[in-house]
Structure 1
């Protein structure tokens, strides 16, 4: 508020800046501002500092004066702005009035209005000075921190400050004060980049499971003992649990009983009935998480050790039996709790015995079933696959080789899933059925190019409680049922089957829907965490390799760039291509660099002219 009537030529304060009153027109003032502009305001919007006249509003700096001495002399006393200017500068002029007012506005030594100032008490000033010094030191320390981080030179003790950047990098927060102060985007990728640059994270730090809300450890909990119940004794049959070497959770095995095939599955539902502690734990997780640096199990390790097939002399199982007719259809389907005696076998070891029995007969039956599926529209294509593992700090990438033994097990598991779905249909049993709509369109080309196009055309599979065809498999009904230790939907299917064949009361469709609500989304996030983690460690491998060079197949072109598939790494990437390079061409790739935060490798591409190599790669060899 003005302390006296405002007149032309007065020096006033308007929005904490000096101004000269150029004209007074009724209830409005026209102000001349330091930048040369003018502004019409109300008298109550200004504070009069000096009556004027003001010659030049831009020349009002009177220097520091003897402000400290003036305060020392008057500490605790009252005075006016004119008194303060006289004491500090020896004169009351527009320049000394403005310079004195800036000191008042600072608030350290003086406070109040122009005609009613107070020199603050010594204790108050001392406390304020200490506060300001502390604040200045903190600002200097913060400035030094930011400078270190920009330079990638984190110092001991900076970890506490970078913790908030880490929270953003892990998806636990959406903001970061440090990134904001550095003028960078507040994104998980930018946070990751800063943490890497400063050594807070190293290249092996994989943020994707945490970002996707994946469990950070395997399940824990007590595993109850098996209850007494009638089980079919199938221990007289050879049962083979065939899996990758080093597998630690074997949950299925195959037997041949004359012309009858048995698929034995770990009987997890025997110790994890609906709403039991193990069931609730598995439901919350949705599936076992498989990462290059280890797995995080859906069930506590003791459950795997006790129920895994081939880990003990005899194992409890839920066995699915059926015959494969000459036309490839399944007949005489039955489901029974059982005892089995399983032997473990790696795919490679089984491959060497495929000409022996029972493997030869099992493979022949599986092939009849496969041909039936193909006749019914099954979509088959093969893209390169690799296993990515972190072993003793090294990223090891191994190709997953197509083997007859692997095809046998895959087909047997599909047969079991079809048999279970058919059984559930016949018995009016609600279970999680896996369904898939037919692909939209037709793939062109051949080899890897066709496989890539087919994958793009495939519709996502769905889990629902009513049966519908699974077009990708060429089946009228299908359910995933062979991995109850690793997938919750499989466990639910077993719970329903056990309740039915044991004379219990299976859940109806409504109750089952409530039980599995949300599981599908949790599983999708786990699978995304696995895909991103595999990509992360592939890029770590490339980054460590340095001058990596290899071949890729162009599977798509869009302007100057294209999608290139690198079979050796099962890696897809975007690359700038030579002008004449078309889809299907083989290119030689030279690694230029890796961007871990965005999971992007950078390659230079040149079209390859080696015909034999071109043929092998295009065919997916």
Structure 2
């Protein structure tokens, strides 16, 4: 099998291969600097939950069941305390925008001395962090929010599979035992808000065990869904602080257009998927099974039309907040603050939230940066999406390259333009011919070019 060429992807998108010397020197100095005065929260038990082997640990979480509901402590890596505004490091991370992930290694936003060491929430002692404390009632609704700089201590470095196994065995880590109750409550609230969760099969490139690469469908565990709800809760809390103060930067996505919802309902009913009168798109999607049954895949693929127009909106200092500040995928206003090691905008969002919560003036360097961030982040998101797609396309093509001319049984996601999903190996591709969404079809592989990533199928005949 011809191996996918990820080096060519790095070249195509001009991804940097290292950091300039002056940036590395500044990062070294920042890593060695004292944490500064901050609250001592090391008595709060927190854990990190990340993929195995991860060192850039942005978040540590602790959840307590209380008499009136829940208390969430969410510690976030404090990049605002180590990246000096206007310095060489600041300029470099603004140029990069975010960490780019490729199968053979990442292109980090920050030098590893920070992202994998000094600024990461590793479980090796007290670490500086931005600590959110969110109080929730019995239903899981937020009732109070506080955020401040603190010293925290992660007591365990966990991964999703291990945490899921512990919950399944009835022995979850005490710091997150309440996650199994709070996570589903928050998910139910999200559906009630109208949050759109597509849950299409998530393809990923992984080693094939023989020195090469292959594609598989990543299976999300309930723990991942629950943990994601805590991250979303924090981002929603940050957005509320910003909107109340009239300053900040939001991740925005227009609510689904009514015509798009009507069309989705038409598609769903046409495929035999029940849509009771008065049910929302969020409720219908949440009720679908997580499988690769053709009808389910076709409905989920059609639902992508609900989520169009993602952007960033900065406001304050004379600029009004957007008329529609919401995020259609979340069902509420939302701000990025939980991944500052990997995403530029989160550092600025955290600084705004800290200032607002303390009743202090937002620093001038934040005011100057806010208007520039939407364009920087939109451009970075575009590159990251293209890099992800290029790596996946080239791997799909490499896996199938020796099978041109073979026929496969596939699920049809869309009829026009033709789009199909092959389950083994998991490949999403275009297909020529007269197709019907939500059905299975027998198709022939007509092209698989690892150099370009182009894969195409056609109906036989």
Q: TM-score, normalised by structure 2?
A: 0.78
Distance, in Å, in 1 between the alignment partners of 2:408 and 2:330 is 34
Partner of 2:318: none
Aligned to 1:554: 412
The answer for the alignment partner of 2:54 in structure 1 is 247
State whether structure 2 residue 313 is matched by structure 1 residue 464: yes
- Paired residue secondary structure (2:327): coil
Q: How does 1:321-360 map to 2 (within 5 A)?
A: 321-342=133-154, 343-354=156-167, 355=170, 356=172, 357-360=174-177
Farther off after superposition, 269-278 or 592-601: 592-601
Q: Residue 36 of structure 2 corresponds to which residue in structure 1? A: 229
Query: Distance between the aligned counterparts of 1:308 and 1:602, measured in 2?
Result: 43
Partner of 2:388: 530
Residue 450 of structure 1: CA displacement? 0.9
CA contact (8 A) 2:3 2:450 kept: no
Q: Report what 1:269 is aligned to.
A: 80
Q: Distance in 2 between matches of 1:512 and 1:480?
A: 15
Aligned residue for 1:313, secondary structure, equals coil
Deviation (angstroms), 1:401: 0.8
CA deviation vs aligned residue, 1:212-261 (integer Å, no higher than 9, x gap):
34323467513213445332222222212111122231111110244210
Q: Aligned to 1:484, what secondary structure does the other structure show?
A: coil
Residues 414-493 of structure 1 aligned to structure 2 (within 5 Å): 414-428=232-246, 430-440=247-257, 441-442=260-261, 443=264, 444-445=267-268, 446=273, 447-465=296-314, 466=321, 468-475=325-332, 477-493=333-349
CA distance in 1, matches of 2:103, 2:437: 32
Q: Residue 598 of structure 1: CA displacement?
A: 4.0
Q: Which residue of 2 aligns with 1:83?
A: none
Asked if structure 2 preserves the Cα contact closer than 8 Å seen for 1:232 and 1:338, the reply is: yes
93, 99, 119: which one aligns with 1:282: 93
Specify the alignment match of 1:583 in structure 2: 437
**Matched-pair contact (CA < 8 Å) for 2:249–2:370:** no
* Residues in 2 aligned to 1:341 and 1:407: alpha-carbon distance in whole angstroms: 24
TM-superposed CA distance for 1:542, in Å, is: 2.3
1: CA distance between counterparts of 2:356 and 2:150? 15
Larger RCO (CA under 8 A, 6+ residues apart): 2
Find the counterpart in structure 2 of residue 380 from structure 1: 197
SS at match of 1:460: coil
Equivalent residue for 2:12, pick from 211, 230, 241: 211
Pairing 1:293–2:104 present:
yes
Deviation for aligned residue 1:555: 1.3
Residue 404 of structure 1 and its aligned partner are, at CA, apart by 1.1
User: Cα offset for 1:268?
Assistant: 1.3
Are the structure 2 counterparts of residues 406 and 511 from structure 1 closer, same or farther at C-alpha, using a change threshold of 3 Å? Answer: same
Instruction: Give the 5 Å matches for 1:92-131.
Output: none
2:442 paired with 1:596: no
Deviation of the 1:509 alpha carbon: 7.9
Gaps of 5+ in 1: 1-200, 608-621
Contact 2:431 2:459 in 1 (8 A): yes
Unaligned regions of 5+ residues in structure 2, if any?
Answer: 274-295, 315-320
SS of residue matched to 1:322? strand
Does 2:175 align with 1:317?
A: no
Q: Which structure's CA Rg is the greater one?
A: 1
Tell me: CA distance 1:526–1:238, structure 2 relative to 1, closer, same or farther (3 Å): same
Distance 1:568 1:276, change over 3 A: farther
Give CA deviations for 1:544-584 in whole Å, capped at 9, x if unaligned.
677877542101113xx72112345553212234x5x5211
**Deviations 1:37-83 (Å, cap 9, x if unpaired)?**
xxxxxxxxxxxxxxxxxxxxxxxxxxxxxxxxxxxxxxxxxxxxxxx
How far the C-alpha of 1:352 sits from its partner, in A, is 1.4
Is 1:412 aligned to residue 230 of structure 2? Answer: yes
Matched residue, 1:307: 119
1:349 match: secondary structure: helix
| TM-score (ref. length: structure 1) | 0.59
- Aligned runs of 1:9-28 on 2, under 5 Å? none
Give the direction of change, closer, same or farther, for the CA distance of 1:416–1:548 in structure 2 (3 Å limit): farther
Distance 1:221 1:563 in 2: 46
Q: Distance in 2 between matches of 1:285 and 1:508?
A: 19
Distance in 2 of aligned mates of 1:549 and 1:409: 41
CA RMSD of aligned residues (A): 2.9
> 1:602, 1:386 → 2: CA distance?
17
Is the Cα–Cα contact under 8 Å of residues 242 and 249 in structure 2 kept in the other structure? no
